[in-house]
Amino acid sequence: MSTPGISTDLLDRFAAIVGDKYALRSEADLAPHLIENRGLYHGSSPLLLKPGSAEEVSDIMKLATETGTAIVPQTGNTGLVGGQTPRAGKSDIILSLERMNRIRDVDPVANVLVADGGAILADVQKAAEAHGRLFPLSLGSEGSCRIGGNLSTNAGGTAVLAYGNMRQLCLGLEVVLPTGEIWDGLRRLKKDNTGYDLRDLFIGAEGTLGIITGAVLKLFPQPLGHQVAFAGLNSVEDALALFNLAASLCGTSLTGFELMPRFGVEITTRHIDGVRDPLEAAYPWYVLIDISTSDSAETAERMMNGVLEQGFEAGLVLDAAIASSVAQQQAIWHMRESMSDAQKPEGRSIKHDVSVPVSRIPHFMAEAEEAVMAAMPGARICAFGHMGDGNIHYNISQPVGADKAAFIARWREMNHIVHGLVLAHGGSISAEHGIGQLKRDELATIRPAIEIELMRRIKRAFDPAGIMNPGKVVSLDV
């Protein structure tokens, strides 16, 4: 079990593994690692370790097992559910992978890249590009999030529609187990049916089963054509019809289809520097359409024109702007990716990272709006996201002038309303952000008991001492 207090002697033993330079104990050094982006969790920790190799991670875990010390792995600290934050009132030691940030190998013929668990996502993308390849995982936080965290949360982002989430983008892993043993599963194979899939157990486990120190990632050809458009629409039903049209005209070349409400566009143009609405008039809903083609630039252009022309003819598209330069493409994407940040200056928000089958999105959205507005008149719904893969960030900004604390106190009640509808439509209460601390107890109530029990058995099998990111995903205190 984890230790509530840790002796200086023991802290010194941990520090000796990485050297004093990489063992931080001061309040100022630890402070940024104790909080997460949304300010929902504030943990405590006496020590942050920055190992430089899988062997050092292994030595840390051996000592942790021997002494029953809880370890919290942390990479870019961009997680949104408190999975990377040490527990409050405990003495969890933080293990940061930030020094383990190398790209180990790129093989453009086999279309694989091998990276350390602490490699920054944007660096992986750049390394792939330098070899004429694409690593398609794309997130607003790609400049600071790291591969180990992306894998541990099975990150999604904006290109899941075409390329899948992190699970689909990974071929092999190197993991340090809670016992300190190192599992070298850095296989580069597309086909490998050799027993239980250990790799897929660690992906999405949020560091509760082991620490991902290295990974083999899949690469793709760099697209030759790329088109981005922003369209104004009347309704979510029309957005679904346009999605169907785009999917049938573009097939796998449809690489992004994002939904945004008018409120989201208003707040990004109001609060985010350099963002402006590409359309002259205001519309109730918007979609961002992203098309990438591997044969030629002309194909992408033809496809985008086809989608918009047919969309106009069918009365689905009211107005649209096609980006005519890379800078304009980036500006449209920047608007979409800033939507989460733009909510902050509007006060507090209660967030839901949910998915439903794509065909259910209009029903879910209509029912959720009715229920939320009935429960909280004045609430400002900012439901946006990755419509093409069924993932909506059903966020609720506080009513103007509402008391922040009183609003946040209604988090569970609003969760209950939104998640109830999500489940009724066969959806998931965590589409891409994970479970962490935020949804741990709720998860245990919505999944069949046998599913939670299997998760507990897996957790105990990998981490008998209960030291590996305890208190996240699944609770063992039953």
Ligand X SMILES: O=C(O)CC[C@@H](O)C(=O)O
Binding site for ligand X (CB under 6 A): 140, 337, 339-340, 351, 353, 385, 393, 395
Give whichever of 86 and 140 is closer to ligand X, judged by the CB atom: 140
Give whichever of 49 and 396 is closer to ligand X, judged by the CB atom: 396
CA-CA-CA-CA torsion sign (198, 202, 203, 204): positive
Give whichever of 218 and 393 is closer to ligand X, judged by the CB atom: 393
Partners of 391 in the β-ladder:
355, 386
Give whichever of 179 and 391 is closer to ligand X, judged by the CB atom: 391
Distance CA 163, CA 158 (A): 10
Give whichever of 204 and 210 is closer to ligand X, judged by the CB atom: 204
Q: What own/partner pairs with CB < 8 Å and gap ≥ 24 does 304-308 have?
A: 304/227, 304/229, 306/249, 307/229, 307/242, 307/245, 307/246, 307/249, 307/250, 308/229, 308/231
Give whichever of 393 and 472 is closer to ligand X, judged by the CB atom: 393
How far is residue 8 from each of residues 12, 29, 58, 93, measured CA to CA in Å? Answer: 6, 18, 21, 13
Place of tokens 């796998």: 252
CB of 140 to ligand X, least distance (A): 5
CB of 354 to ligand X, least distance (A): 10
Question: Is residue 122 within 8 Å of 99, Cβ to Cβ?
Answer: no
Shortest-Cβ-distance residue relative to ligand X: 340
CB of 431 to ligand X, least distance (A): 9
CB of 450 to ligand X, least distance (A): 30
375's tokens: 């429960």
| Residue 359 per-residue DSSP state | G
Q: Quick count: other Cβ atoms within 10 Å of Cβ 271?
A: 15
Closest CA to 362 of 218, 253, 234: 234
CB of 153 to ligand X, least distance (A): 11
Task: Give how far the C-alpha of residue 284 lies from the chain's centroid of Cα atoms, to the nearest Å.
Answer: 27
End-to-end CA distance of the chain: 14
Give whichever of 212 and 335 is closer to ligand X, judged by the CB atom: 335
Closest CA to 473 of 179, 82, 130, 121: 82
CB of 334 to ligand X, least distance (A): 11
CB of 106 to ligand X, least distance (A): 28
Partners of 354 in the β-ladder:
392
Question: Is residue 381 within 8 Å of 394, Cβ to Cβ?
Answer: yes
Give whichever of 33 and 393 is closer to ligand X, judged by the CB atom: 393
Give whichever of 38 and 456 is closer to ligand X, judged by the CB atom: 38
| Residue 251 per-residue DSSP state | G
CB of 421 to ligand X, least distance (A): 17
How far is residue 291 from each of residues 246, 320, 465, measured CA to CA in Å? Answer: 9, 15, 49
CB of 258 to ligand X, least distance (A): 8
Q: DSSP string spanning 49-68?
A: E--SSHHHHHHHHHHHHHHT
Give whichever of 174 and 337 is closer to ligand X, judged by the CB atom: 337
Distance CA 316, CA 402 (A): 36
CB of 277 to ligand X, least distance (A): 18
